Amino acid sequence: MMVRARFAPSPTGYLHIGGARTALYAWLFARHQGGQFILRIEDTDRERSTQPAIDAILEGMQWLGLTWDEGPYYQTQRFERYQAVLNQLLESGSAYRCDCSPARLETVREQQRAAGQKPRYDGRCRDSQPLITTNQPSVVRFRNPQQGAVCFDDQIRGPITISNSELDDLVICRSDGTPTYNFCVVVDDWDMKITHVIRGEDHINNTPRQINLLQALGAPIPHYAHLSMILGEDGKKLSKRHGAVSVLQYRDEGYLPQALLNYLLRLGWSHGDQEIFSLEEMQRYFSLAAVNRSASAFNREKLLWLNHHYMNQLPPETVAQQLAWHLQRQAVESRQGPALTEIVRLLAPRYQRLDRLAQASHYFFNEPIALDPEAAHQQLQAAASQPLALAYSKLAALHAWQASAIQEAIQQVAEELSLGLGKVGMPLRVAVTGGLQSPAIEQTLQAVGQRRTLARIEQALAFINEQTASAVDQQAPR
Ligand code: GLU
């Protein structure tokens, strides 16, 4: 039998860490089994579902590379089908109309609470046909079995049994004619031939109800797997403060999709003590049996560590694609500068996030560079004129613009002027990059290029001249 797993987000919010992990596990399960992965948008809650949330979910899935084989299906496009199945249930007697007023239901619930019972529908309309002709609004309820129990073998938690006496007759269609959530899920899982339902543990109470509905329809019962919660580092429910934000925010903050996938994979699943998994390994090793039953704690340090790993270990071409996106977002025109793969090689060891790496790379592309006042104050003083001028002439004379030749030229300047290497390298760094931090100076200069390096040294010399002249002006007697 072909495995068919689905991800069924409600577009009432963005695709956050928890949803993305559910999607990843369902996707990996399908891929591991050579099965299919179906995307279904559960947008029946029209008040709370929004188009921007749908777009963000699709964009997040695409950015992570969680490709779907079918869909996206939209529940709002399937109302006719739900109506047909509803009629089928009414005709077979598996569902019935109920015209109990909200006031009556509330009174019943209050009485039950007062008697120390669990509030539930008392079944008044179950066996007596309401007088629909009175135009009294009515809902449709599922005739839940009153005897026996629902048993299912949760693929993560093991066997679970719920007595039918715990379940009341669920409303499957509201008085305004709209089908309810649990009913739509059942019809969809049936129609879409879902074999494995992998979802958050917040749905575990829905499962026995859904199984009873499927049984009443004569539909096959899929396997169920409920994933445990993700907690914050402090053990509390994951909130925005902990990092429960949209997947796209992680993209914006400079995380690579590979790092986030690897992080989410390990957030509740393990394979020995292996930490790093290629996509191919994820698909090869993934199994529901190895998913953790207990809650997992979100750990941003580990995510950063993985991101740094992938920034340095992935082919520079792959990282460069994401870097191009960040540079564009930071309004940097990068086509004129060095190859982005070169920037990745140079800077990836120094940063954990790609947005920061991109920010630190502006001087490779922007003209004129942004001169950090503190760095200029420290390094672009009169004493730097001579080493900068000599460096200019030596660098201008180089035929091969290679790091080794550049390094040699800088060394010669230091020797000829009897200066420490730093007295040449630091002013040069500030002249060419605008700041005090950069990779090794010869590598930096090589990437910036000869023409632009020389132009920037000229600008720095002019800057020093101006500063010195205005200092002299200030000292001159009036
Ligand atoms: N739409 C539900 C949610 O976003 C998931 C339902 C399911 O997977 O069965 O929580």
Cβ neighbourhood burial of 324 (10 Å; 0-12, 13-18, 19+): middle
| Cβ-count burial 44-57 (b if 16+ within 10 Å, e if not) | beeeebeeebbebb
3-state secondary structure of 79: helix
Write down the mean pLDDT value for the chain: 95
Instruction: Write down the pLDDT at residue 359.
Output: 97
Domains 1-74+228-313 and 315-366 share a fold: no
The Å distance, Cα 275 to ligand 1 centre, comes to 29
pTM for this structure? 0.92
Note the pLDDT of residue 473.
73
Q: Using only the alpha carbons of the chain, give its radius of gyration.
A: 32
Give CA–CA dist 121/138, Å, rounded. Answer: 14
CATH of domain 315-366: 1.10.8
- Nearest Cα residue to 169 out of 278, 60, 89, 65: 89
Confidence at residue 135, expressed as pLDDT on a 0 to 100 scale: 65
- Burial code (b: 16+ CB inside 10 Å, e: under 16) for 364-386 equals bbbeebebbeebbeebbeeebbb
Q: Is 203 in the pocket of ligand 1 (CB under 6 A)?
A: yes
9 ligand 1 Cβ < 6 A: yes
* Domain boundary assignment for the chain: 1-74+228-313, 315-366, 369-478
Atom of ligand 1 nearest to the CA of 199: 8
Ligand 1 centroid to residue 19 C-alpha, Å: 9
Q: What is the pLDDT of residues 357-416, one digit of tens each?
A: 999 999 999 999 999 999 999 999 999 999 999 999 999 999 999 999 999 999 999 999
**Per-residue confidence (pLDDT) for residue 5, from 0 to 100:** 98
| pLDDT tens, residue by residue, 301-356 | 999 999 999 999 999 999 999 999 999 999 999 998 999 999 999 999 999 999 99
Topology annotation, domain 369-478: Arc Repressor Mutant, subunit A (1.10.10)
Q: How many CA atoms lie within 13 A of 174 on its CB side?
A: 11
CB within 8 A of 342, min separation 6: which ones? 316, 447
Q: What is residue 129's predicted lDDT score, i.e. its pLDDT? A: 67
State the pLDDT at residue 243: 65
DSSP bridge pairs for 196: 5, 223
Q: What is the pLDDT of residues 230-272, one digit of tens each?
A: 998 888 887 777 766 899 999 999 999 999 999 999 999 999 9
Residue whose CA is at the smallest distance from ligand 1 atom 6: 8
The answer, yes or no, to whether any atom of ligand 1 lies below 6 A from the CB of 450, is no
Query: What topology does CATH give the domain 1-74+228-313?
Result: Rossmann fold (3.40.50)
pLDDT of residue 239: 74
